Amino acid sequence: MHILIIGAAGMVGRKLTDRLVASGIGGKAVETLTLVDVVPPTAPAGFKGSAHTLTADLSQPGQSEKLVGARPDIIFHLAAIVSGEAEADFDKGYRINLDGTRFLFEAIRQEGLRSPYKPRLVFTSSIAVFGAPFADKIEDTFLSAPLTSYGTQKAIGELLLSDYSRKGFFDGIGIRLPTICIRPGKPNKAASGFFSNILREPLAGAEAVLPVDESVRHWHASPRAAVGFLLHAATLDLEKVGPRRNLSLPGLSATVGEQIEALRRVAGEKAVKLIRREPDAIIQKIVAGWPSDFNPARAVALGFRAESSFDDIIRVHIEDELGGKIG
């Protein structure tokens, strides 16, 4: 089996690669891995198959054709610039998040016109496709009406995915990821980054900045759960999904205050005292336009699973990133 991961140098892409190398997918071994990003991805250690690491920008004409020409069986499209950056740089957001996606989809269509080709395509969307006013819980039938450029770009990608799948050009599924928490590594430009920062840094003994009020509520899942979502989406019988190919995935709804209380239970008061309040009006405005709770009944019925407590999310980070120890 040949698997293409676009956005392979990112956190989720790296973790997905490691899981594929360790366990394969759907009971099958991975024979070929093609890892692509705008920065050089790292070749997987211990992989016995054929691995190709490439640097490419899908928003540049011709790049997608080169990748699709190798006819991968499964394509994970994870590449995007994050919410805060897409909002700050309108042109870059649409070039990367929309043009890059459309070029990929069209390259697959054109490849299939030459001779039959219909890969599974997993597209990472976002809960940012929804905009206020919100119900207490977002149901699977809730209107997609984003209030940010990032959310708009993802929503358009969802529509394209459904249409290209309907026409039989590929077998696509879009998964609306919750905010991934706790993200390892350094802070990025995502407006949602503070949800991870206020836990990750204190667990490592460092100070973190909280730019919003503790009453802010949001929808979360761990990096471990995110990888599980991707693998499940890649092997799911999409006849069971039907024509509505984009799913809101399971997660955990929690306020910032509840996050902090979970940190206190797991790591103690010393860690909590490392959180410094520093309000940021821009981040507050962006976050206020995001949904905070879901009823992802379709995804749950299809077998997608996430954590049920923030204590569990914190423990996943300690196990996977800190060697089981708090710094």
pLDDT, residue 327, reads: 65
pLDDT, residue 91, reads: 97
What CATH number does the domain located at 2-178+221-248 have? Answer: 3.40.50.720
Q: What is the chain's mean pLDDT, rounded?
A: 95
pLDDT, residue 252, reads: 97
Per-residue pLDDT tens for 276-326?
999 999 899 888 878 899 999 999 999 999 999 999 999 999 999 999 888
Q: Cα separations (Å) of 43 from 6, 25, 92, 163?
A: 14, 18, 28, 34
How many Å apart are CA 259 and CA 28, to the nearest integer? 38
Catalytic residue among 94, 117, 150, 164: 150
Range 78-88 average pLDDT: 90
Per-residue pLDDT tens for 28-76?
999 999 999 999 999 999 899 999 999 999 999 999 999 999 999 999 9
**Nearest to residue 299, comparing CAs of 46, 57, 44, 125?**
125
Domain ranges of the chain: 2-178+221-248
**Nearest to residue 6, comparing CAs of 54, 73, 77, 63?**
77
150 catalytic per annotation:
yes
Per-residue pLDDT tens for 97-153?
999 999 999 999 999 999 999 999 999 999 999 998 999 999 999 999 998 999 999
Cα diameter, the chain: 63
How many Å apart are CA 217 and CA 137, to the nearest integer? 12
| Token couple for 154 | 């993802």
Q: Is a pLDDT exceeding 70 seen at residue 162?
A: yes
∠ CA 29-32-34, nearest 5°, is 130
- Look up tokens 């016109």; give the residue: 113
What is residue 33's three-state secondary structure?
A: strand
Q: Which amino acid is at 198?
A: I
How many Å apart are CA 87 and CA 64, to the nearest integer? 25
8 Å CB contact between 272 and 201: no
The dihedrals phi and psi of 314, each to the nearest 5 degrees, come to -65, -40
Per-residue pLDDT tens for 246-287?
999 999 999 999 999 999 999 999 999 999 999 999 899 888
Element (H, E) at 124: strand 120-126
Range 237-241 average pLDDT: 96
Q: What is the pTM (predicted TM-score) of this model?
A: 0.94
**Nearest to residue 165, comparing CAs of 98, 242, 103?**
242
